[in-house]
Amino acid sequence: MEIVSKVRSFGGTQLVCRHDSQSTGTPMRFGVFLPPAAETGKVPVLWFLSGLTCTEANFTEKAGAQRLAAELGLMLVVPDTSPRGEGVANDEAYDLGQGAGFYLDATEAPWAPHYKMESWIMRELPGLIARECPADMARQGVTGHSMGGHGALTLALRHPGVFRSVSAFAPICAPTQCPWGEKAFTAYLVDDRATWRAHDACALIADGKRLPPLLVDQGTADPFLESQLKPELLKAACAAAGIPLTLRLQEGYDHSYYFIATFMADHLRHHAQALRA
């Protein structure tokens, strides 16, 4: 693990790291915030999965999470959103290719050789974090924004028992029923909606998968609310399955990091409470 940058923040340390991933066959970057408590022992880990076009820098520089994470003793791990670089398939559009990995393992050309985001985040990167950082891997939570909210929900559903806490900001709740998801799944996966269900939070819940009590914030002025995000479908799926869901519609907020930063403290406390020993 190569440390690209290292700065002090609220008594802790913000790292940007890089390693050569076996999953993607490329160098991959990620951010790690180590709270002051990490200097004396292992601490719980909160993963943040970012949205379309983002890198690890969007969260680490804009979300304002370090102050409270330092107080709560939470390690923050922020993966990049896709493989990148020369020889990695890409698309001119912002919602496919580099910056748009959708947190799944692609099976179709030309994406399959490198777009193994689920394998990287769920298998390879946790092993690296466990070896290199004072992380208590028995206490992990996951959150994310937009495409990353989709990732937080689906990875928690697909890997039961890994995450003790889950939340999301403006997640893509039903990607099989929105243009972003349909485009990505058609490219990355077999063009078969039955296969797509395995990467759709609402479908996974309907098919019997379950989550811990869930916190979701959604801005009412989000331009993607009706066409892409569809939180009403997640609300219905959780209600039918008996999954405790706190869905907060935040009046006047949009899809930006101003929205995320405003409600970040509530999400950090949600996870800290669930991850206490």
Please, what's the largest Cα pairwise distance for the chain?
50
Domains of the chain: 2-275 (3.40.50.1820)
277 residues of the chain, pLDDT tens digit each: 999 999 999 999 999 999 999 999 999 999 999 999 999 999 999 999 999 999 999 999 999 999 999 999 999 999 999 999 999 999 999 999 999 999 999 999 999 999 999 999 999 999 999 999 999 999 999 999 999 999 999 999 999 999 999 999 999 999 999 999 999 999 999 999 999 999 999 999 999 999 999 999 999 999 999 999 999 999 999 999 999 999 999 999 999 999 999 999 999 999 999 999 6
Q: What is the dihedral of CA 158, 159, 160, 166, to 10 degrees?
A: -80
255 is annotated as an active-site residue: yes
Per-residue CA distances from 132 to 38, 42, 44, 52, 173 (Å): 12, 11, 14, 28, 33
pLDDT, residue 277, reads: 64
- Beta-sheet strand order (sheet of 165-169): 2-9, 12-20, 27-34, 75-79, 43-49, 135-144, 165-169, 214-219, 245-250
9 is annotated as an active-site residue: no
pLDDT, residue 153, reads: 98
270 is annotated as an active-site residue: no
DSSP string, 178-228: SHHHHHHHHHHS-S-HHHHGGG-HHHHHHTT---SSEEEEEETT-TTIIII
Question: Which pTM does this prediction carry?
Answer: 0.98
- The single residue of 114, 255, 270, 271 carrying the catalytic annotation is 255
- The single residue of 167, 222, 270, 271 carrying the catalytic annotation is 222
User: 168 forms bridges with which residues in the sheet?
Assistant: 216
Three-state DSSP at 37 gives: helix
27: its two tokens? 């160098």
pLDDT, residue 222, reads: 98
- The single residue of 21, 50, 146, 167 carrying the catalytic annotation is 146
107: its two tokens? 């099976």
Q: How many residues does the chain have?
A: 277
Per-residue CA distances from 80 to 4, 253, 268 (Å): 14, 25, 20
- Could you tell me which of 7, 145, 140 has the C-alpha nearest to residue 63? 145
CA distance 121 to 114: 13
